[in-house]
Amino acid sequence: MHQDIDSAAQDSAAQRPRAPVNDLRSALAHLESIPGQLIETDHEVDPHAQLAGVYKRIGAGGTVARPTRLGPAMMFNNIKGYPHSRVLVGLMASRKRVGLLLDSPPRRLTQRMADAVRNAIEPVTVPREAAPCQQTVHLASDPDFDLRKLIPAPTNTTSDAGPFLCLGLVLGSDPDTGHADVTIHRLCVQGRDELSIFFAPGRHIDAFRQKAEARGQALPVSINMGLDPAIHIGACFEAPTTPLGFDELSIAGGLRGTPVELVDCVSVAQKSIARAEIVIEGEILPNVRVVEDQHTNTGHAMPEFPGYNGPANPSLPVIKVKAVTMRHGAIMQTLVGPGEEHTNLAGIPTEASIYNAVEAAMPGFVSQVYAHTAGGGKLLAILQVNKRNAFDDGRARQAAIIALGVYSELKNVILVDEDVDPFDSDDVLWAMTTRYQGDISTMLLPKVNGHVLDPSQTPEFNPALPARGVTCKTVFDCTAPFHLRGEFERAQFMEVDPRPWAPALFADQEDEDHE
């Protein structure tokens, strides 16, 4: 997939003085000033499957079944059954748009995120009167309270287990140390005041839940929706970049140069993000489990990042909701999975984690890392390496091993030379076609932990695998051997500015080589 070239109009708008982005509304105000990045509709849409079906054709991209495309973010102002609600989708469903929202050229987002990790700023707590997220409070103790009527949680397909909160950022704390963690989890609305929550293996909040459950205690959490995109992307870093005890909200602080603001919840002993649009407060109950698709019996959960419907889980923990707080005119934010938005949320932090680790081990050797959309930002990475001598043939493969070590869910790594654009799939496949021989250019690492949502990572697919979520990891070395580099020099064309010959074609385009 080719990455779009940013237009000069967009670049100019992005550089104009503007108010700082510190929440969803300021992010949207910024996008409104840039043509083609945000559209609105007043046409009624059903949140049950129809909304996702519309956006699939507008801007979902990613591993969504074709036809799909990359396009603008979209605000739906007329939600069937919810006369006072709006739903935003696709805010981060384009690498270009993420760059605009994080003040970075798209090709430098890896480095921008890597720098934010190194310069993290811890969050701060503000008084309730300074927290817009608590402008309206709905307590679950009210007999009229019903989560299903209050929040227009969508379904992506007609076979989903139920309505899902697709961008609900869960904030929980270690019962022993008090250290906080934030993660996006699969949250299905199960009743008037109940949600199920799915934890992939190794998630920190699940470790907190297990500690509390072992004591027979509930774990208080907040679910934060409608956020500054820096918070969502910063929250998607994983160990070892963000080990247990590392607060991922500090990465958002590093991105913005100012701390994320928190506030004490109104109904549970936890904090929430002060400038969120919607916050659900609740407790993960000890020793209570629920079938994810108990109301639909579809057997499916929802579309997951590899492009397939995830299986409904037969036994998930339950969050008992205590309250919902909102801003006035609150915006419900969601994503259409498994689209480009998920790729950017998961993939850009993946890139930064790999980049920082390889840079620490071999400075200057890897110039770009791209967590490809075909892997949902998790399963496939392309590393651009800079060979300077024969020893670097081995260093390239070492860089791939570091990448696999630093991001455990990564499945395949493709190595390319510095003359290959890692963001251009045609260029990468060209390198694989002309600089790769399967029997000598492939490294296989069998029986290594991967990701349970990849349907090929099962003993049924490969009897050699001991359990679901274990995989054979592969490195595809598509770099030219250093001693043969002269045989692999690409045809060199004259560098010419084409605008005098085709001024209309290039009138709205900036230099593609902006770095």
Residue 467, C-beta contacts closer than 8 angstroms, at least 6 positions apart: 459
- pLDDT higher than 60, residue 475: yes
Check residue 129 and report its DSSP letter.
G
241 close to 354: Cβ distance less than 8 angstroms: no
pLDDT for position 512:
37
Region 30-57 average pLDDT = 96
For 340-360, the three-class secondary structure string (H helix, E strand, C coil) is HHHHHHHHHHHHHHHHHHHHH
pLDDT for position 135:
98
Region 276-290 average pLDDT = 98
pLDDT for position 18:
67
Percent of the chain, pLDDT > 70?
95
155 close to 49: Cβ distance less than 8 angstroms: yes
CB atoms within 10 A of CB 495: 5
Mean pLDDT, the chain, rounded, equals 93
pLDDT for position 509:
55
- pLDDT higher than 60, residue 14: no
CB atoms within 10 A of CB 424: 15
Domains of the chain: residue spans and CATH: 9-335 (2.30.110.10), 342-488 (3.40.1670.10)
User: Distances in Å between the alpha carbon of 296 and those of 185, 291, 463?
Assistant: 20, 10, 32
Region 507-512 average pLDDT = 51
Long-range contacts of 80-83 (CB under 8 A, 24+ apart): 80/44, 80/45, 80/46, 80/47, 81/46, 81/47, 81/152, 82/47, 82/152
User: Bridge-partner residues for 384, per DSSP?
Assistant: 368, 416
Q: pLDDT by residue (tens digit) across 409-436?
A: 999 999 999 999 999 999 999 999 999 9
Q: pLDDT by residue (tens digit) across 93-128?
A: 999 999 999 999 999 999 999 999 999 999 999 999
Handedness of CA 231, 232, 233, 235 (dihedral sign): positive
Backbone angles phi, psi at 275, to 5 degrees: -105, 20
User: Distances in Å between the alpha carbon of 22 and those of 92, 101, 177, 215, 261?
Assistant: 16, 11, 29, 38, 9
- pLDDT higher than 90, residue 307: no
The bridge status of strand 73-76 relative to strand 38-41 is parallel
Annotated active-site residue 409? The verdict is no
User: What is the rounded radius of gyration, in angstroms, for the C-alpha atoms of the chain?
Assistant: 23
What's the length of the chain? 515
**Tokens representing 430?**
């060209």
User: Can you tell me the distance from the alpha carbon of 231 to that of 414, in angstroms, rounded to the nearest whole number?
Assistant: 29
pLDDT for position 331:
98
Residues 150-182, buried b or exposed e (16+ Cβ, 10 A)? bbbbbbbbebbbbbbbbbbbbbbbbbeeeebbb
User: Can you tell me the distance from the alpha carbon of 361 to that of 385, in angstroms, rounded to the nearest whole number?
Assistant: 13
For 370-396, the three-class secondary structure string (H helix, E strand, C coil) is EECHHHCCCCEEEEEECCCCCCHHHHH
In this structure, which amino acid lies at residue 83?
Answer: P
Indicate the range of 144-148, 237-241, 414-418 predicted with least confidence. Answer: 237-241
Percent of the chain, pLDDT > 90?
87
**Tokens representing 169?**
């950022």
Under the banding of pLDDT at 50, 70 and 90, the label for residue 12 is very low
Strand extents, DSSP E, 65-159? 73-76, 86-89, 124-125, 136-139
- pLDDT higher than 60, residue 442: yes
Region 39-63 average pLDDT = 96
The bridge status of strand 470-477 relative to strand 412-416 is parallel
How far is residue 23 CA from its own chain's centroid? 17
73 close to 38: Cβ distance less than 8 angstroms: yes
- pLDDT higher than 90, residue 244: no
153 close to 164: Cβ distance less than 8 angstroms: yes
For 256-316, the three-class secondary structure string (H helix, E strand, C coil) is HCCCCEEEECCCCCCEEECCCCEEEEEEEEEEEEECCCCCCCCCEEEECCCCCEEECCCCE
Note the pTM of the prediction, 2 decimals. 0.91
Q: Which residue out of 304, 340, 359, 409 is catalytically annotated?
A: 304
Under the banding of pLDDT at 50, 70 and 90, the label for residue 3 is very low
